[in-house]
Amino acid sequence: MKARVHVHLKTGVLDVQGVAIKHALGTLGFGGVGDVRAGKLIELTLEESDPAKARASVEAMCKKLLVNDVIESYAIDLVA
């Protein structure tokens, strides 16, 4: 089973990378771009086949290592 963890900065946290992307897009002639928020995607291959156990395991990984819960939020997608 595969798990995808989508990590984003929480609303209200300055996204410096997003600001830089927006500026670069404007410089390249892509006007009309509003707010840009950048994030990261973490893909995991799990040996667990039970979706509930897999989700619980990935939640624990997020809380212990993958996500800084002070400034980031995340969403988990499981793919069979």
**Given a cut of 90, is residue 58 above it in pLDDT?**
yes
Instruction: Please name the residue that has the structure tokens 């989508």.
Output: 6
3-class SS shares of the chain: helix, strand, coil, % to 5: 35, 30, 35
Domains of the chain (ranges, CATH numbers): 2-79 (3.30.1280.10)
**Given a cut of 90, is residue 68 above it in pLDDT?**
yes
Among 71, 76, 77, 61, smallest CA distance to 17 is for: 71
**Given a cut of 90, is residue 80 above it in pLDDT?**
no
- pLDDT at site 26: 95
Instruction: Please name the residue that has the structure tokens 């980031």.
Output: 72
Among 38, 48, 12, 31, smallest CA distance to 61 is for: 48
